[in-house]
Amino acid sequence: MSGNAFMLSKLQQRLQAAIEERRFYEAHQIYKTLYFRCTTRRNYAEALKYLYSGAELLLSNQQWESGTDLAFLVLQAYAKSKMNLTEVQLNQLCRFLNKMPATEERAAFVSQTTTLLKPHKNLLCGFNEQLGRLFWLEGSFYEARFRFMLSLNGCAVCSFLIALHQRYGLRSEIDLFITQAVLQFLCMRQPSAAILSFYTYTRGHPRLEPGPPFTRFPLLNFIWFFLLVIHSTERFSVFCVLCEKCLPQINRDSTYATYLETIGRQYFGTPSAEPNTMFSRILKMFGGSAEDADDLLATGSSEVTGPPRHPDVQNATSSSGPIRSTGATTCMKDFD
C-alpha cells in the first residue's frame, strides 16, 4: 500500500469512529482533510463523494455551519474540475439547500450556486424553480414569486399565483394576479412563458369563469387579445387601438403603462414616446413615459433583479386579511 493510500485509510477509520461517536466537529475536519488530499491529486470524483456524504450527514444532524461549509466546497469542486453539470448535480445542490436553515450562509450559497449555473440556462431555471418551491413552503411569498418568474416555467408560476390568490386575494383581483406576470414575461422577452402562464392560469383557477372571452374580467380579455396581437401582421396599429380601447382596465395598475411602453418597443417597433404621436398620447393617458420604461430595463446583465418589497406580500404570513395587490413589482433586466 502506498503512503497516500495508507494515510487515506487511516483518515477513513478516524472518520468512521468520529461519526459513530457523534463527534461532528472532528468529522467535519476530517472530511475537509480528505477533500484537500483528493483535490491535490485532482481526484475530484473521490473528493465529491466525501463532500456529498459529509454535507448530508452534518446538515441532517443540525450541524448547520459545518454542513454548509462542506456544501460550499462542493461548489468549489465543481468549478475547479470544470465538470459538465447536469440535473444530477443540480438535484444534489437542492438537497443541501432544503436542509439549510434560512440564514445569511444559505443566501450566500444560493448566490454562489446561481453564479456557477449561469452558463447552463436550463439548470439555472430549474434551480430558480426549486428555490421558488422552497420559499413558498417557508411562506416567503415575495421571494417565491421572484424565483418562479426567473424559472420561466409558466405552469409553476400559475400554480403559485392560483394558490396565493385563493388564500389572500379578493375575487375582484383574479385578473390582477396573472396580468402582471404576463406583462413581466413579455418584458423579459419570453412570449412562450407569457402565453403558457395566461392559459394555465385562466383554465386552472377554480374561481374563474370559462374563457376566453371573459364576461366579468375585461382585463383578461385585454391580455388575451394582446397575446394574439404579438403575432399579428399589422401589429403596431392594432396594439395602439387595443391599448386605447382598454384604457380604463389598464389604469387599474400604474405599472402597466411602463410595461406596455417597453413591450411596444420590443415587439411592435414603437419608437421612444415623442410629443404628438398616437402612442405618446396613449402613454400620457396612462400617466407613463419613456423614462419610466428605461427604468424598467437595465443594461449589462441577463439576470432579473428583485423588486422592492410590497408590505402586503411581506406580511402575508402574519396577517389573516386578504392581499390587496398581486405583490411587488418586479423590475426586469434584458433576458436574452
Please check the confidence at residue 315 and state whether its pLDDT lies above 60.
Answer: no
Predicted local confidence at residue 301, as pLDDT: 30
Please check the confidence at residue 173 and state whether its pLDDT lies above 80.
Answer: yes
pLDDT averaged over the chain?
A: 82
What is the residue-wise DSSP string for 49-65? HHHHHHHHHHHHTT-HH
Query: Do 222 and 249 touch, CB atoms closer than 8 A?
Result: yes
Give the end-to-end CA distance of the chain in Å, rounded to a whole number.
54
Per CATH, the number for 152-336 is 1.25.40.10
Predicted local confidence at residue 267, as pLDDT: 87
> For residue range 86-123, what is the model confidence (pLDDT) as tens digits?
999 999 999 999 999 999 999 999 999 999 999 999 99
> For residue range 2-16, what is the model confidence (pLDDT) as tens digits?
556 656 678 889 999
Record the cell numbers describing residue 75, joined without a space: 461548489
> For residue range 33-75, what is the model confidence (pLDDT) as tens digits?
999 999 999 999 999 999 999 999 999 999 999 999 999 999 9
What is the residue-wise DSSP string for 76-124? HHHHHHT----HHHHHHHHHHHHHS-SSHHHHHHHHHHHHHHTT-HHHH
| Rounded Cα gap, residues 313 and 323, in angstroms | 7
Query: Do 110 and 132 touch, CB atoms closer than 8 A?
Result: no
Percentage of the chain surpassing pLDDT 70?
A: 78
User: Is residue 188 helix, strand or coil?
Assistant: coil
Helices H / strands E in the chain, number of each: 18, 0
| Residue in the structure block whose three cell numbers are 483535490 | 39
Percentage of the chain surpassing pLDDT 90?
A: 67
Buried b (16+ CB within 10 A) or exposed e, 228-238: ebbeeeebbeb
Please check the confidence at residue 323 and state whether its pLDDT lies above 90.
Answer: no
Record the cell numbers describing residue 228, joined without a space: 394574439
Of residues 267 and 275, the one with the higher pLDDT is: 267
pTM of the model: 0.80
Nearest to 317 by CA among 189, 178, 137: 137
User: 304: Cβ–Cβ under 8 A, 6 or more apart, which residues?
Assistant: 146, 149, 150, 188, 330, 332, 333, 335
Query: Do 50 and 34 touch, CB atoms closer than 8 A?
Result: yes
| Residue in the structure block whose three cell numbers are 405583490 | 327
Please check the confidence at residue 200 and state whether its pLDDT lies above 60.
Answer: yes
Nearest to 34 by CA among 88, 90, 73: 73
Mean pLDDT of 206-235: 89
Of residues 252 and 284, the one with the higher pLDDT is: 252
Nearest to 225 by CA among 217, 210, 213: 213
Stretch among 146-150, 265-269, 327-331 having the lowest mean pLDDT: 327-331
